[in-house]
Amino acid sequence: MVQRYLLLWLTLLSLVAYVWPDLWSFLCGLVGSNQAAPISAGGFDPFVGTHQRGYLKPLIAVTMFSIGSLLPRDEIRQVLQRWPTVFGGTTIQYAAMPFLAYVVGHAFRLGPDALTGVIMVGCVPGAMASNILTLAARGNVSYSVSLTTSATLLSPLMVPLALWLTLGASRQQDPWDTFTTLLMLVVGPVLAGHLLCRWLSRAERIMQRIGPIAANLTILWIIAVVVGVNRGRLAEVTLLLLLALLVVNLLGYLAGYVGGGMLRLGEPMRRALTLEVGMQNAGLGTVLVLDLFPDNPAAAIPTAAYTFGCMLTGTILAQIWSARSEAATH
């Protein structure tokens, strides 16, 4: 239910985060509480509070731990065994998406915060949701998981390099800080979750049940926190920014499909690569933006918006491919 209707839950929870001050006042009035302070006066706000108390990093660590626990037992070995196709697909992702984000962001003449967010979208690894949609699209799920695993494990090296090449001196952060952050928040939890479930069958059974729920709920909350932190700025989101994100997304799909053809992959693997390239881990990108640019929370708006966009376009693309495969069998 959580995974299948993820886009619906994203929308509803983000809407709650946006209207929370009015909703909180209404709830207080409903129960007759006169002691609850309004949000502007320090009242209860779980979304802003999550950000202010530094809970976003632990949340993304929980997400990545859950993803690691869900990796098949031999997945890392599979990545190494078929390294040419996995390395080729990962290279396409880390080459195409930062380049596309940089070109589109500058072509649309986005402001500094919006440009930073769009570029971050292009620099992060692929998302776990691509694996689910690859299954729906009748693609090669094993290859999709291998691509996600490879891009995630390489992220401490590739993301700082991509940010340095695209942001340059304008908003450059210390690559070492980015490297260590990704190592602690991404690679460490993924490996810990994977190894724990590989060594303890009981932990594996437990995580198979709660892992997908935990991963999706944490991403839902992270995006809602971004909405809550940026309530006053969301009215400034322009159609131009949304169009830029859509262009990056669609060109990412195109790069993945064309790149798959250049690698001479079969159609199921090309579908997996297409979804992997176009669907970025924008939840991770959101946390990175808020961590690397704490004085500019508006830079996280594009990464949060991309989560909605790529889920929508990825679902549509998967349905189209599924329908084509169904028609071909009849």
Which amino acid, 271? R
Q: Is position 98 within any domain?
A: yes
pLDDT over threshold 70, residue 330: no
Residue 209 maps to a domain:
yes
Domain that holds residue 132: 46-229+236-325
| Percent of the chain residues past pLDDT 90, beyond the cut | 27
34 pLDDT band (50/70/90 cuts)?
low
- Give the CATH number of the domain where residue 315 resides: 1.20.1530.20
**Which string of DSSP letters, residue by residue, matches 262-299?**
HTT--HHHHHHHHHHHHSB-HHHHHHHHHHH-TT-GGG
Reply yes or no on whether the pLDDT at 52 is more than 50: yes
- Are 273 and 249 a contacting pair, CB within 8 Å? no
| pLDDT in the model for residue 132 | 78
> Is 41 within the bounds of a domain?
no
pLDDT at 37: 52
Rounded Cα distance between 131 and 220, Å, is 18
- C-alpha 324/C-alpha 320 separation (Å) is 6
Mean pLDDT of 155-168: 88
Inside any domain, residue 107: yes
Is 2 a residue whose pLDDT tops 70? no
Upper half-sphere CA count for residue 329 (Cβ side, 13 Å): 7
Q: Which of 24-38, 160-174, 197-211 has the lowest mean pLDDT?
A: 24-38
pLDDT tens, position by position, 71-80: 777 767 777 7
Tell me, yes or no, whether 12 lies in a domain.
Answer: no
Q: Is residue 8 one of the residues assigned to a domain?
A: no
Q: What is the pLDDT of residue 275?
A: 95
SS3 call for 31: coil
pLDDT of residue 251: 97
Give 276: exposed, middle or buried? Use CB within 10 Å, 0-12, 13-18, 19+: buried
CA diameter of the chain: 67
Whether residue 26 is contained in a domain is answered as no
Name the residue with higher pLDDT: 310 or 29: 310
Average pLDDT, integer, range 234-249: 90
- Report the alpha-carbon distance of residue 8 to residue 327 in Å, rounded: 28
pTM over 0.85: no
Interval 85-102 mean pLDDT: 95
Model confidence at 48: pLDDT above 70: yes
**4 lies in some domain:** no
41 confidence band (pLDDT: 50, 70, 90): very low
Supply 8's token pair.
């619906």
Tens digit of each residue's pLDDT (9 = 90 or more) over 99-141:
999 999 999 999 989 999 999 999 998 877 788 788 788 888 8
- Total domains, the chain: 1
Q: What mean pLDDT do residues 211-216 have?
A: 80
Average pLDDT value for the chain: 85
The pLDDT of 235-261, averaged and rounded, is 93
